[in-house]
Chain A
Amino acid sequence: MQVQGLLRAPPPRILLYRAISSPPPGGNGGGGGGVAVKQVTRGNMAEALEKLRGRVREAAFVGVDLEMSGVTSAPWRDTFELDRADVRYLKLRDSAERFAALQLGVCPFRWDPAKSAFVAHPIPFSSCRHNFYIFPRKELPSDCSSHEFLCQTTSIDFLAKYQFDFNTCFREGVSYLSRAQEEEALQKFNMLYHGQTATSSTNSEEDRDIPLKSASDILFTERMKMNFKEWRDVIVSKPMVDNHLLGNIKFCAGQFQTVFFKMRPAIMLNGFSSHQLKLIQQVLRKNFRDLVFVCTFGEDDTSEKKVVYSGTDEDRILLMKDVQEDLLKNREERVKSAIGIRHVIDLLSSERKLIVGHSCFLDTRHLMSVNQAVQKLMKHKSKSLSSAFSLLCPASYSSAEKPSSHSPVTIEVEGDETTSSCFISGAKHEAGYDAYMTGCIFAQLCAYLGIKFEQFSPLDNLATNTELQKHINFLSPSWNSGTVIDLSTGMERPEPGYMRRYPAAVYDNIIVIWGFPSKVRPKEIKDCICKVFGSGSVTTVFSIDSTAALVQFKKQESVNDFLDLKAVLERADSAISILHPLSTILEGGQTRAVKYDTYRDICSSSESKSLFADQAEAVCATLKNQLKENVDDNLISGVLDGVALASVTEGDGIISGSNNQDVADVTCHDILDALHDGKALLGRRM
């Protein structure tokens, strides 16, 4: 089931089926037993990307899947049927932000008219968020390593059951930068570059001197001075000597090894501490005009420090320019390679093919954080299929089981023999395999919908197909929401044929309570409230987790009545409050009740406590500290005066609500706007 598993994320255009467990699709016909999957890691990323580009260009549609390190950061963050659209979005956003993508599967499907079959090329990309340090590390040592992600134990365990190779993932995984991060990195690097050229012109004369505090510093400086002088003298006395000769020169400590750097003799400075290196720089600056300190970056991101001999001033300027240019190139390369996985996303979005994925809005959201502009192409040809398919999906399963109903679509797998690893279908739960499966099912569904692949030329885009149009661009936020989101309008609408387990929610009538005694069950909450407000006054009690519950009243007035009554009972420390039916839930004095908007705020908080009650307390304790107390006091006095104070509490909700709107950096609507404005975004970047 989807719930326990992994999130799959397709880029823009998405076909969703709901909750596909992974039985092989009925029409696997020509697929045979094994599916070849190309494993892509840091080493072969560039090559794989090129190949993929060609494959995607030819493809009729692309199956996509994502494996992540977790699904929900706490049990109460699961999406519930009762959730309002914004809350559901906040929950998904939380998951997308916290968890890391570990594997991305991409599987282009090409229609081969000659064989009347689809040809699939599954490719999983191992991706993981490490290797990220390129620029921050150099400049801001304080925040370089703050990239944290969460792992959900059950998800990791689930991946382990399917032999997910964590070692490969962590060692060889391809990193990524989102567009925003790329921009930031480039900006920083430009700043650094300009800053450096500025200093390099001046630094030779008056860099800040390090006072030689200790005797060891002075001794070290003197010794270095002598060593450098000796070495320089040798170089000068034998100009343009060949390698062998220089290599043979031994120096006192054996500390120097002569190498050549850009056709000039140089010394590698290995094994010095950063303080010593500073001293060395100082020595060079003060005493040797013809020795230049150069810092370059080796292949594996290690910095190499050298002292280079450069005879004349012109030569030195030339050398510095050379080094600067190298540095610049090197940094650009590194930013480019740091983009990593996002190249794949960019590729998919630029090819504008139909993307087929299953389940999860959430992953789209995750990719969004990887790449805000990924979803931009909505208006163009790329479309996703609706989760109206989720309705059709089970039907197609059954029909696939009875091959008589219609002939299955043939799918052939074309792997790369040299680097592919074969596996028995269904044996692995891997992004590449899942992407393939998703594509297979999609092909079946198309047949079921009456789309004639036979009339298809390989160049036709499936997304323009009129039969599919009505199913494209619908995302189902979660398997139990009962709604789909239409990406072209941004509206949610009920999913046809979804069987609701709970009566439809009226959010104005809902309160959230937590902190009640742990032994109280939802049934008891309902009973005791009904005792006070009359039977039938509560439509539903839904437990969020063991510490909290949503209570929906029949009438909106009951919400405020309940809150008022609760406040009064808590104030009055008498026998009445103990004997009152509500004491079942108020016992202990820790019980809190808030309106639905506050629940939304609690969900949007970046706090992460595993129990809802803890989370709610933390959120309320921090942000609304003052506000809440004031309101409570007003409320109490109001009740005592016999004045209904609904407006005050109402006000609370509104204030906090609007506050929050500001706090939340991206809302659902922002995303949709981003999708539509994607073109503009893209334009700006190019």
Chain B
Amino acid sequence: MAAPRAAVASAKQVTRQNFAEAVRELGAHLEACDYVAVAAQKTGAPTGWRRALPVDTAETAYLKAKLAAESFQPLQIAVCPFRLRSSSPSTLVAYPYNFHLFPRDELQLGMPSYSFSCQSSYLSTMANDGFDFNMCIYDGISYLSRVQESLARQKIFTPRPQQLLPSPSTSVSDSVFVNRIKSKILHWRKGYADPSKKDDGTLVSSLSRLILGGETYGSRPSMSIDVCSDRQVQLVLEAVNHISDDLVSLVVPHKAGAARSVRVIFTNSKEDKNLLLMDIQKLEDEQNFKFRGFREVIDLLSSSQKPIISYNCLNDMTMLHTKFIAPLPPNLHEFMCSLKMVFSNVVDINHLLRQIGPLRKAKNIQAALSYLQRQYFVPIEIEIPQQDGTSSVTKNEQNVLRITKLFAKLSNLLKISPECQLQSREQCTAVEEYCNIFYPSCVVEGSYDANFAIESDTTETVSTDNIIFLWGFREKSVKELKSYLIGLHQAFSEDFEVKLLDKTCSALIFRDSNTATQLLKEINSEGPSLNRFFSEGLKAAGFEVYRKVCRLGLWDSDLAEVLEDVSSELGVPTLPECSTSQIYWNSALMLDLKEYLEC
């Protein structure tokens, strides 16, 4: 079967040594494939209440994902274009690549990142799994985000050739200018093109260089012509074109990006000219590598418009956005719009899992795969044409292949088809229907326990009005806390659920929103019925306070502490305002991006 084969399959390892070649190959494979699976290995994940919690709304979940994306660093990104053919058995052809990244400051501009966070437990698990940190740090590919690139381009200028545009009409002053430039260049060129002067002494040649105002470009003579507008650049290029084929011109930009001068380089022969052009091209490639690096892959993915398949979409997409596109916007809506411009179709495996009842509870890809293996018969032939030959398989490539496999099986079960094959089979659904719906998962990575959680099947929508955050109970378990609360106020005799959010704070979810608001009101007015509640040192706040904590980004301390700070600052009346949202209690929450785009 597929499983053992996939386990030994290894991806192409890409470092800065073989990056250019790998990008070329990847581009070709992308063209030929239907989907791309993406997985990232990061230096950590948020802990404690900074993880996505069941009480989070879409907005707060986004803020948490944003925090994680901004603080941790991806060290490997695996990209796997794959093709699915629904013959029987269906075939899956995958081309996995594993890119090693390190945010080296190639341009000495303090970019892409000044520093990043690491979680020691994460690093040691990675080390135990055989992750090669040296390879990553010594040879990892650097990158700049799109925004950073444009910032860098403003600071570092490289002369580059420019196309001669067909000029509209030439005014008198233009032709005067062209003629003047022409004669200047001709005069200068004569000094080199005339064979009779070849054997002048070095003194003479350097003197003539002085007089003619020439410089050298590498070993070749060149001269600079100052310009003050783009129009003039065109005119100079025109003039150069008219004179001779053996001249190459480069536009030297100025600070603001406008051209400052045009550099004309003299070449001996046609071969020499080609050589020069190749040199210039090579230089530009090197520069581009420094300016873009790994981002070239992201740009490829973006322009290919293939559906992106990922597991922890919200986390991965915020990470890709902040590292390779632009800093993350302050709210989810803007993020969605911005992401949509880059990747139009993103499929969260988590969402697909939820389409098949029992898989809803699968904690991770591994669990889902083994469940499918046991319960369904989905024969899939896997073909991985390019093998690297290395025996060690890193967790990350394993992950991306698992995602690929899982998607193949799920799409088989759900009858999802890529667009191009849609016409032929009627009962198929287009993959677009599953796109852009994210589930921020609350699962801690690294626990590969292939079991399902024991949680109730019911997913219910709870309004944020029903939630009360409670702290000050010292270290108590959920059970202890619940029995302890019942004695404190009659509101607690009603039906409510308790969930520990971190060791200092828990959320109480009331079935009845009136109870919650009423209780909150009493707590805020410090009513006498709550004397025991307060004397036990208990504190409580509504969802509004939590929302504010997330919005302000007070991630540094325990939840109880920040809630305390913020609620004391908000003043007494912290009644929920008009903005009531929904959370999906008892399940990972779901963000339908379409909703966010429509509003």
- Tell whether B449 is near chain A: CB-to-CB under 8 Å: yes
Count of chain A residues with a beta carbon within 8 Å of a chain B beta carbon: 48
Q: Which of B119-127, B231-239, B277-285, B346-354 is the contact stretch? A: B119-127
Is the pair B502, A148 in contact by a Cβ cutoff of 8 Å?
Answer: no
Is the pair A143, B128 in contact by a Cβ cutoff of 8 Å?
Answer: no
- Alpha-carbon separation in the docked complex, A160 to B139 (Å): 10
Is the pair A148, B552 in contact by a Cβ cutoff of 8 Å?
Answer: no
Q: Per-position contact with A for B86-115: 1 when CB-CB < 8 Å, else 0? A: 000000000000000011110000100111
Residue of B whose beta carbon sits closest to that of A99: B115
Is the pair A149, B48 in contact by a Cβ cutoff of 8 Å?
Answer: no
Residue of A whose beta carbon sits closest to that of B110: A75
Q: Which of B15-23, B129-137, B481-489 is the contact stretch? A: B129-137
Among B73, B104, B116, point to the contact of A157 (Cβ < 8 A): B104
Is the pair B117, A148 in contact by a Cβ cutoff of 8 Å?
Answer: yes
Residue of B whose beta carbon sits closest to that of A546: B110
Among B114, B123, B134, B503, point to the contact of A143 (Cβ < 8 A): B503
Given contacts A273-B449, A275-B451, contact A170 B114 (CB under 8 A): no
Residue of A whose beta carbon sits closest to that of B47: A146
Is the pair A170, B123 in contact by a Cβ cutoff of 8 Å?
Answer: yes
Is the pair A145, B114 in contact by a Cβ cutoff of 8 Å?
Answer: no
**Smallest distance from the beta carbon of A555 to chain B beta carbons, Å?**
36
- Tell whether B358 is near chain A: CB-to-CB under 8 Å: no
- Tell whether B554 is near chain A: CB-to-CB under 8 Å: yes
- Tell whether A625 is near chain B: CB-to-CB under 8 Å: yes
> What residues of B have a CB within 8 angstroms of the CB of A149 in the complex?
117-118, 120
Of the listed residues A148, A152, A273, the one surrounded by the most CB atoms of chain B closer than 10 A to its CB is A148
Is the pair A153, B133 in contact by a Cβ cutoff of 8 Å?
Answer: no
Is the pair B119, A147 in contact by a Cβ cutoff of 8 Å?
Answer: yes
Given contacts A73-B115, A143-B47, A167-B133, contact A130 B123 (CB under 8 A): yes
Residue of A whose beta carbon sits closest to that of B138: A160
- Tell whether B454 is near chain A: CB-to-CB under 8 Å: yes
Is the pair A607, B124 in contact by a Cβ cutoff of 8 Å?
Answer: no
Is the pair A152, B115 in contact by a Cβ cutoff of 8 Å?
Answer: yes
Is the pair B134, A166 in contact by a Cβ cutoff of 8 Å?
Answer: yes
> What residues of B have a CB within 8 angstroms of the CB of A152 in the complex?
114-115
Is the pair B121, A154 in contact by a Cβ cutoff of 8 Å?
Answer: no
Is the pair A171, B117 in contact by a Cβ cutoff of 8 Å?
Answer: no
- Tell whether A203 is near chain B: CB-to-CB under 8 Å: no
> What residues of B have a CB within 8 angstroms of the CB of A133 in the complex?
121
Among B114, B134, B451, B552, point to the contact of A622 (Cβ < 8 A): B552
- Alpha-carbon separation in the docked complex, A274 to B451 (Å): 10
> What residues of A have a CB within 8 angstroms of the CB of B449 in the complex?
273-274
Is the pair A146, B48 in contact by a Cβ cutoff of 8 Å?
Answer: yes
Of the listed residues A69, A171, A621, the one surrounded by the most CB atoms of chain B closer than 10 A to its CB is A171
- Tell whether B194 is near chain A: CB-to-CB under 8 Å: no
Is the pair B105, A143 in contact by a Cβ cutoff of 8 Å?
Answer: no
> What residues of A have a CB within 8 angstroms of the CB of B114 in the complex?
74-75, 152-153, 610
Is the pair A147, B503 in contact by a Cβ cutoff of 8 Å?
Answer: no
Is the pair A130, B120 in contact by a Cβ cutoff of 8 Å?
Answer: yes
Given contacts A166-B134, A273-B449, A275-B454, contact A144 B121 (CB under 8 A): yes
Residue of A whose beta carbon sits closest to that of B43: A151
Is the pair B552, A167 in contact by a Cβ cutoff of 8 Å?
Answer: no
In residues 449-468 of chain B, which contact A (Cβ within 8 Å)?
449, 451, 454
Q: Per-position contact with B for A119-147: 1 when CB-CB < 8 Å, else 0? A: 00000000011111100000010111111
- Tell whether B500 is near chain A: CB-to-CB under 8 Å: yes
> What residues of B have a CB within 8 angstroms of the CB of A153 in the complex?
102-105, 113-116
Is the pair B133, A150 in contact by a Cβ cutoff of 8 Å?
Answer: no
Given contacts A130-B121, A607-B556, contact A157 B137 (CB under 8 A): yes
Given contacts A145-B47, A146-B47, contact A100 B120 (CB under 8 A): yes
In residues 147-192 of chain A, which contact B (Cβ within 8 Å)?
147-154, 156-157, 160, 165-167, 169-171
- Tell whether A574 is near chain B: CB-to-CB under 8 Å: no
Residue of A whose beta carbon sits closest to that of B108: A154
> What residues of B have a CB within 8 angstroms of the CB of A465 in the complex?
none
- Tell whether B553 is near chain A: CB-to-CB under 8 Å: yes
Q: Per-position contact with B for A598-612: 1 when CB-CB < 8 Å, else 0? A: 000000001100100
Given contacts A142-B503, A166-B134, contact A150 B117 (CB under 8 A): yes
**Smallest distance from the beta carbon of B150 to chain A beta carbons, Å?**
15
- Alpha-carbon separation in the docked complex, A185 to B152 (Å): 49
- Tell whether B569 is near chain A: CB-to-CB under 8 Å: yes
- Tell whether B44 is near chain A: CB-to-CB under 8 Å: yes
- Alpha-carbon separation in the docked complex, A75 to B116 (Å): 14
- Tell whether A70 is near chain B: CB-to-CB under 8 Å: yes
**Smallest distance from the beta carbon of B548 to chain A beta carbons, Å?**
10
Is the pair A147, B121 in contact by a Cβ cutoff of 8 Å?
Answer: yes
Is the pair B115, A150 in contact by a Cβ cutoff of 8 Å?
Answer: yes
**Smallest distance from the beta carbon of B76 to chain A beta carbons, Å?**
14
Is the pair A143, B116 in contact by a Cβ cutoff of 8 Å?
Answer: no
Q: Per-position contact with A for B68-87: 1 when CB-CB < 8 Å, else 0? A: 00000100000000000000
> What residues of A have a CB within 8 angstroms of the CB of B565 in the complex?
622-623
- Alpha-carbon separation in the docked complex, A531 to B126 (Å): 59
Residue of A whose beta carbon sits closest to that of B571: A626
**Smallest distance from the beta carbon of B394 to chain A beta carbons, Å?**
13
Is the pair A170, B115 in contact by a Cβ cutoff of 8 Å?
Answer: no
Q: Per-position contact with B for A615-640: 1 when CB-CB < 8 Å, else 0? A: 00010011101100000000000000
Is the pair B554, A148 in contact by a Cβ cutoff of 8 Å?
Answer: no
Residue of A whose beta carbon sits closest to that of B553: A618
- Alpha-carbon separation in the docked complex, A147 to B43 (Å): 12
**Smallest distance from the beta carbon of B474 to chain A beta carbons, Å?**
13
In residues 206-250 of chain B, which contact A (Cβ within 8 Å)?
none
Residue of B whose beta carbon sits closest to that of A214: B454
Among A131, A142, A148, A610, point to the contact of B124 (Cβ < 8 A): A131
Q: Per-position contact with A for B484-525: 1 when CB-CB < 8 Å, else 0? A: 000000000000000010110000000000000000000000
Is the pair A142, B121 in contact by a Cβ cutoff of 8 Å?
Answer: no
Among A69, A74, A606, point to the contact of B556 (Cβ < 8 A): A606
Given contacts A100-B120, A128-B120, A148-B44, contact A171 B127 (CB under 8 A): yes
> What residues of B have a CB within 8 angstroms of the CB of A146 in the complex?
47-48, 119
- Alpha-carbon separation in the docked complex, A275 to B502 (Å): 22
**Smallest distance from the beta carbon of B253 to chain A beta carbons, Å?**
19
Is the pair B118, A151 in contact by a Cβ cutoff of 8 Å?
Answer: yes
- Alpha-carbon separation in the docked complex, A258 to B115 (Å): 52
Is the pair B119, A156 in contact by a Cβ cutoff of 8 Å?
Answer: no
Is the pair A145, B121 in contact by a Cβ cutoff of 8 Å?
Answer: yes
Is the pair A170, B126 in contact by a Cβ cutoff of 8 Å?
Answer: yes
Among B116, B122, B552, point to the contact of A621 (Cβ < 8 A): B552
Is the pair B503, A140 in contact by a Cβ cutoff of 8 Å?
Answer: yes
Is the pair A166, B120 in contact by a Cβ cutoff of 8 Å?
Answer: no
Given contacts A160-B137, A606-B556, contact A143 B120 (CB under 8 A): no
Residue of A whose beta carbon sits closest to that of B113: A153
> What residues of B have a CB within 8 angstroms of the CB of A607 in the complex?
556
Is the pair B105, A150 in contact by a Cβ cutoff of 8 Å?
Answer: no
**Smallest distance from the beta carbon of A182 to chain B beta carbons, Å?**
17
- Alpha-carbon separation in the docked complex, A166 to B137 (Å): 8
Given contacts A143-B48, A273-B449, contact A150 B502 (CB under 8 A): no
Given contacts A142-B48, A157-B104, contact A166 B133 (CB under 8 A): yes
- Alpha-carbon separation in the docked complex, A540 to B121 (Å): 46
Residue of A whose beta carbon sits closest to that of B453: A275
Is the pair A151, B119 in contact by a Cβ cutoff of 8 Å?
Answer: no
- Alpha-carbon separation in the docked complex, A308 to B554 (Å): 50
> What residues of B have a CB within 8 angstroms of the CB of A166 in the complex?
133-134, 137
- Alpha-carbon separation in the docked complex, A69 to B503 (Å): 30
> What residues of B have a CB within 8 angstroms of the CB of A70 in the complex?
115
**Listed A/B pairs (6) with beta-carbon separation below 8 Å:** A73-B115, A148-B118, A148-B120, A151-B117, A171-B128, A622-B565
Given contact pairs A132-B120, A143-B502, a sample of 7 additional A-B residue pairs in the complex whose CB atoms are under 8 Å apart = A74-B115, A133-B121, A140-B503, A142-B503, A145-B122, A621-B552, A622-B554
Q: Which of A's residues lie within 8 Å of B, judged by CB?
A: 69-70, 73-75, 100, 128-133, 140, 142-154, 156-157, 160, 165-167, 169-171, 213, 273-275, 606-607, 610, 618, 621-623, 625-626
Q: Which 4 A-B pairs have the closest CB atoms?
A: A130-B124, A166-B133, A145-B121, A170-B127
